[in-house]
């Protein structure tokens, strides 16, 4: 059971919550509206996170 708990904690660390995803999407939309390119995919990859 301890190993499962550790694996779940690692997963949660790598995975964004719905609130975090919504925030990133709103930032991307703002950048897009201003004509700037969002780099969230690359940033997430550098942090080993899933979008």
The tens digit of pLDDT for each residue in 3-51 reads 899 988 888 888 888 898 899 889 888 888 887 766 556 665 655 555 4
pTM here is: 0.49
The contacts of residue 38 (CB under 8 Å, 6+ apart) are 27, 28, 31, 32
Token readout for 41 is 């995919």
Q: What pLDDT was estimated at residue 9?
A: 86
Q: What pLDDT was estimated at residue 49?
A: 56
Q: What pLDDT was estimated at residue 29?
A: 87
């Amino acid at each position: 059971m301890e190993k499962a708990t550790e694996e779940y904690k690692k997963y949660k660390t790598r995975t964004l919550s719905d609130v975090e995803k919504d925030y990133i999407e709103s930032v991307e939309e703002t950048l897009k509206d201003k004509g700037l390119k969002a780099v969230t995919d690359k940033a997430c990859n550098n942090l080993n996170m899933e979008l």
